[in-house]
Structures are given as C-alpha cells and as structure tokens.
Amino acid sequence: MMREVFTTGVECDLGCQYCFASWGKYTPPLHIAKFSKSTASLVIPACDSEIQSFIYLLENNKFIFPNNTTGRIVITLSTKTILSEKTIMLLSDLNKLLKEQYNGFLKIGVSIPTISMAKELEPKAAPPLLRLKNLSLLKESGIIGYAIIKPILPFLPKNEFIDLSNILYNEGVKYVLIGQLYVDRNTPFFQKYIERKFEVKQRQVLWLPNKPVWDYVSDQDIEALLIQELENKSVKVFQSDIAFVNFLVNGN
C-alpha cells in the first residue's frame, strides 16, 4: 500500500507544547491540493486538528479526489477537540463515499497522551475525557474510531499509563495507536521536561518530504507496560499507522 501524507497547511492553534508541527525545522508534507493528482492508496492529513480545515474543504467542494485512481483510498484524521454533530455528519458522508467508490474508509483517532498534564501541555484542547465522547458518536455513524497515545510522554508517572488503559477499556476502545516523542532541543518544552533527564536518540522521519533526521525519546519500559495493560484487556495496539491500516484492510 503506497502511503503519502498530505496537509491542508493551516496552522493549528491548540498550542500543544510537544507539537513538532510548530518547530522551525518542520517541513510540511504535500499540500492537500495535490491530492487529486496522487496515486496514493493511503492518505493522511498530517496534523491532529487539521480536521476543521479538512471539513472546510469538504463543505466547499474544494477537496478533489483523484479521478483515475483504481486503488483503495484510506483517510486518517485525528482530533483533540469535541466534534460537532455537523462535523460527524460530513465525516460520515466522506466515509460512505470512500467505501462505495474507493474501496476504502475513513478512520478517526482521538488523541489522549495525558490526563494529569493536559491543561498544561495541551492548553486549548478539549478536556481529555470529553474527547473520548467522540468515539461513541463515530461508532454510531459507522466510522472507525480509536485512541491515540502519541507521543508517549516519558515524564508522566507510570500509574497514569495504567489509568489511561483502564479508561480506554471502559470506554469500549478496541484499537490504540501509540508512538514515541519527537523533540526539538531548541524548545522550552525540551528544556523543561527532557534535557538532562532522558536519553535522546535519533531517527529518520520517512513520511516527511525531506526525510529529516530528528531527535526522539522513547521509554521501553513504559511502552511495554502500556502494551501489556491494553493487550490484557484485548485492546489491539499499533505502533505505526500503516500497520494499523494493513490490519484493518487485510486482518493482519
């Protein structure tokens, strides 16, 4: 499955402190206007809260599907806001269109990396537990909904990950996408929470156009704990979006 990442290019104003999309060295992926020329089978507007600008494009008929694609089109969106009924209706129509005409589907992640520090780290996002209410509305509308614990914040107490997995299980979440924390040494976030406290490693970010090498932090113990807590409750955990889509398409 060929994967391309698109963005609407609209700046997000939710102000999450760990957001790499606000870094000076971040180069946005392809602009969504190029989507109509794409032969990608998997399309991901990159940013969490681009969901609203994506809806704007849909409402104003400015989102144009490739007219010669024979492949499957899967669209992934994610949010830290509370989706309105109107937004869910539009997304539901998009999901139906993808299913009927493009052998694909829409999936929407509710992003919830922390509960205890949400006010500090995600100042303008909806309260975490309210975000999860989106999931029942998405389910009623036939859209695949799931939770995202990404980035995994290594400075949270371990108990918070156990609490999070219990909350997600109690909300009926079936799928969780997890991921490590990219960091920029020049941000106040890095200096306050990461510097001299955690080992910083490097990896190439393959889904960005210039494939930059970025610093990241991962805590194997927390990841293992989170995976174990969720899998013990029969919640399926994915460490990459492409693995998640492959599972939904092929069942493995």
Where do contacts with ligand SF4 occur on this chain (CB under 6 A)?
Answer: 12, 14-16, 19, 21, 47-49, 80
User: Cβ 75 to ligand SF4, closest distance in Å?
Assistant: 17
User: Cβ 110 to ligand SF4, closest distance in Å?
Assistant: 11
Among 137, 85, 86, 90, residue whose Cα is nearest residue 110: 137
Task: Please list, residue by residue across 13-25, b when 16 or more beta carbons sit within 10 angstroms of its beta carbon and e when fewer do.
Answer: ebebbbbbebeee
User: Cβ 14 to ligand SF4, closest distance in Å?
Assistant: 4
Query: Distances in Å between the alpha carbon of 63 and those of 6, 33, 67?
Result: 12, 7, 12
Residue number of the CB closest to ligand SF4 reads 48
Q: Is 109 exposed, middle or buried (0-12, 13-18, 19+ CB in 10 A)?
A: buried
Looking at the Cβ atoms of 15 and 212, the one nearer to ligand SF4 is 15
Looking at the Cβ atoms of 48 and 241, the one nearer to ligand SF4 is 48
User: Cβ 90 to ligand SF4, closest distance in Å?
Assistant: 19
Looking at the Cβ atoms of 21 and 225, the one nearer to ligand SF4 is 21
Spatial contact of 48 and 78, defined as CB atoms under 8 Å apart? yes
User: Cβ 97 to ligand SF4, closest distance in Å?
Assistant: 25
Looking at the Cβ atoms of 14 and 248, the one nearer to ligand SF4 is 14
Query: Is the alpha carbon torsion for 163, 168, 172, 175 positive or negative?
Result: negative
Looking at the Cβ atoms of 15 and 209, the one nearer to ligand SF4 is 15
Looking at the Cβ atoms of 46 and 173, the one nearer to ligand SF4 is 46
User: Cβ 81 to ligand SF4, closest distance in Å?
Assistant: 8
